[in-house]
Chains A and B, each alone.
Chain A
Amino acid sequence: MRILRFTGFTLLEYLRSGRVALEIVATLVVYFVFLRRVGLGMNAEYFFSVTGVYTPALTLYSTAAFIGIGDRPQGYVLLSRGLSRASYLLGIFLSSLVIVAGSYGLLSIMAALFNRPPDLDLAGWLLGTLPLLLNVGLLSALMIMLSPLVFATGWRLFVLGLIALAFSSNFIGGTVLESLPEVVRTLLRAVQAILGGPLVPAFYGFQLAVTRDYSTGTAVANLFAQASLLISLLGLAIYSFSRRDLIFSQ
């Protein structure tokens, strides 16, 4: 319950600061540029392709803004009260989630009112929204975990290095990869495969939102994988935050 009260507290401050105007304007711009499509019509696949890219992009901004709100000396007073460190971190996470989900909801309502995809009903919207919002949560949790509030610089750079390695097949592949010694090549492929593993649920989640194909068990398994990954990231962030010295940015 205290988490929800702190979420309300953070959201109210965010609304009063006027920063939410950026999210509203960005959402309106995305609607008018990509989803209004006068005379072109719109199907469900296109709708989820656009929102599947827009919501993670918005998550980057909104979560960064909430991390900024949380990483201030004002937090000392709040944390000196009954609010636990876990509640504090989860409150910041939920606040960013509410703002991004709210923007997505606004986009969906405008699309439903003014340019409804004929092949998308409420059930289909829910099936597409679920993996999409799980991806939003994953990205937000990752950002919070990598924030200065939670991870010390050394650990942050280490995790960012692992993420870079996971994506390295995009720039270390083909002829570059073939030119490397066999041992290095094998090792790099193994590392890329291992580190790329956690990225699979996120990418498959995007695909699932677009296709909404739940005919195989893989789709449901992916939802569990997304949820598990989300819980793991949040758990790691809370664990790290609870153990470290609390020093807010000035």
Chain B
Amino acid sequence: MSTDVIDSIEIVDLSKSYGNIQVLRGLSLRVAAGEVYGLLGPNGVGKSTLLHLMIGFLKPTSGSLRVLGSSRPDTVRAQIGYIPERQRYHTRYTPREYLRFIGEFSGMRGADLISRVEQELDAVGLDADADRMMGTFSKGMLQRVGVAQALLCDPALLLIDEPTSGLDPGGQREVIDLLASLRDRGHTVFLCTHYLHEIEQLCDRVGVLTGGQIAVEARVSDLRAPGGSVLIEVDSISTELRGSLEAISRGVSCGTRTVRIVQNTPQTQAMVLRRLLDAGAAIIALEPLESPLEQLYVRAVRGLAFDSPAGPPAAPAPEAAPSRRPAEGDTLLNELLRRGGSQDSAPGATNAEPAAGDREQGTA
């Protein structure tokens, strides 16, 4: 595996047009060796086009593109693994036959090829089905074949296009788990998707492609910081309680049975929960409305400005909330759990749990 180059992908001012339709407009991007980069974007925005440019299927209209140090991606294809979006393979072959042919096309031969094929079949969990025709495979199994063929030559760079598109939830889970296991193998990964959870689970860094450019980039770890919005559902909210809650912060707004906290902080949430409990309201549910990644994505796609030059919305500062002890949230949650456990109604007991989970992730 080549690790000589610092940036596995280096794109500067890249444009691509199909006739009069300009898909990419001056896109610039860098992906360091060993990094897992996720590219988000709506359907049809040019993610697959960018991937196909990187592997040399398409030619840029203008701009420069270097993949693994080469400005001609065709010449480094042997070091690139590619998993296409559509699970279309040559279904009249068994995975074992198919992988052997793919290996031969890549210049592998003999015992080395046979052992690599068996190794990858085992790695993707297809060893038991290795002699079945691929025409009988589910989409999830075909996607595993796709992963195996991409890994066969131990590539330095993996280009993955919409890996779970069209898969059922079980198939999606399988593929995400499989891709997560690739992180340990040290490949540089460039993943195109429109599923936020794939980015959250798999990537080090994320970029949002819109309008033919990378509108914003962020470290996924930064997006796990607090700052999301939450919705608290209760049995009822009196007019007096509503006034009391909305006085806490401008980010708090109430309906007849719901409290919405925008740009939530642990302090604001603790105060809201405290006042709800003090007023005797029964809390039915507490759930995040949007994750920071979702906010980032939505703002990028809608062309809205970001709070910080780095792109992602900064964790909001506490507003009018008075300072509280850091352990306030914990205390309240414990109280909620205790109350829920002592109440007759089951919802109170169960619905407090997501709040704890959310808080651990820093969103609530």
Q: Which residues of A contact B (CB under 8 A)?
A: 2, 5-6, 9, 12-13, 16-17, 72-74, 76-84, 243, 245-247
Contact = CB atoms under 8 A, between A and B. Distances in A.
Contact of A77 (B58, B107, B149): B149
Contact of A5 (B52, B90, B104, B149): B104
Interface string B5-37: 000000000000010000000000000000000
Interface residues of B, number: 28
B57 A74 contact: no
Nearest to A18: B92
A82 B77 CA distance: 6
Contacts of A9: 90, 101
Nearest to A72: B88
B146 A246 contact: no
Nearest to A78: B105
Given A5-B104, A13-B92, A245 B149 contact: no
26 contacts: A2-B104, A2-B107, A5-B105, A6-B105, A9-B101, A12-B93, A13-B90, A13-B92, A17-B92, A72-B88, A74-B88, A74-B89, A76-B84, A77-B102, A77-B146, A78-B102, A79-B57, A80-B57, A80-B77, A81-B105, A82-B77, A84-B74, A245-B57, A245-B59, A246-B57, A247-B58
Contacts of A246: 52, 57-58
Contacts of B146: 77
B106 interface: yes
In this complex, the member of A2, A74, A78, A80 whose beta carbon has the largest number of chain B beta carbons within 10 angstroms is: A80
A71 to B, nearest CB: 13
A73 B57 CA distance: 12
Nearest to A87: B105
- Counting chain B CB atoms within 10 Å of each CB, the highest count among A72, A82, A246 belongs to A82
A13 B74 CA distance: 26
A73 B55 CA distance: 15
Nearest to B152: A81
Contacts of B52: 246
Contacts of B153: 81
Interface string B69-90: 0000010011011101010111
A83 B55 CA distance: 13
B104 A76 contact: no
A73 B105 contact: no
A72 B90 CA distance: 10
Contacts of A81: 77-78, 102, 105-106, 153
A76 B82 contact: yes
A59 B89 CA distance: 26
Residue picked from A9, A73, A84, most chain B C-beta under 10 Å: A9
A16 B98 CA distance: 14
Contacts of B105: 2, 5-6, 78, 81-83
B89 A77 contact: yes
B99 to A, nearest CB: 11
The CB with the most chain B CB atoms within 10 A, among A9, A77, A84, is that of A77
Contacts of A83: 105
A79 B73 CA distance: 12
Contacts of A73: 84, 86, 88
Nearest to B52: A246
A82 B146 CA distance: 16
Contacts of B90: 9, 13, 74
A16 B89 contact: no
Given A17-B92, A72-B88, A245-B58, A80 B80 contact: yes
Contacts of B74: 84
Name the 6 nearest CB pairs between A and B, nearest first. A80-B82, A246-B57, A16-B92, A82-B106, A83-B105, A81-B105
A145 to B, nearest CB: 20
A103 B58 CA distance: 38
Given A82-B106, A245-B58, 10 more contacts: A13-B92, A13-B93, A16-B92, A77-B82, A79-B57, A80-B55, A80-B82, A81-B78, A246-B52, A246-B58
A120 to B, nearest CB: 39
Interface in B165-186: none
A163 to B, nearest CB: 26
A90 to B, nearest CB: 13
Contacts of B106: 81-82
A16 B77 CA distance: 29
A247 B80 CA distance: 19
B143 to A, nearest CB: 12
Nearest to A83: B105
Nearest to A246: B57
Contacts of B57: 76, 79-80, 245-247
A156 B149 CA distance: 35
A225 B106 CA distance: 36
A5 B100 CA distance: 11
